[in-house]
Amino acid sequence: LFNDADIVLGAHGAGLSNLIYCEDATVIELFGKKVKPNYATLADTVGLAYHSMNCTPSGVDLIVNTDHLGKMVEAIE
């Protein structure tokens, strides 16, 4: 799935380590309280465009501003 993706959107976490399988994708990483550069560095290493978005944490979940996210995706396409 990652190999064929045009856009990979996901919350910061171990699942984004699969970015190593992307060939030509744009990454949008969602953050809560803690912002870490791990996957920005990985994206840069494998030559992927990278964007991040800060979200409002709610327990273990994130509240995503879908209007802002939609504008990010439209700008990529």
**pLDDT tens digits along 26-74:** 999 999 988 999 999 999 999 999 999 999 999 999 999 999 999 999 9
Considering the chain, what is the average pLDDT of its residues?
95
* Residue 10 burial (10 A CB sphere; 0-12, 13-18, 19+): middle
Give pTM, 2 decimals. Answer: 0.92
Residues 35-46 pLDDT 10s: 999 999 999 999
Residues 32-58 as b/e (b if ≥16 CB within 10 A, e otherwise) read: beeeeeebbebbeeeebebbbeebeee
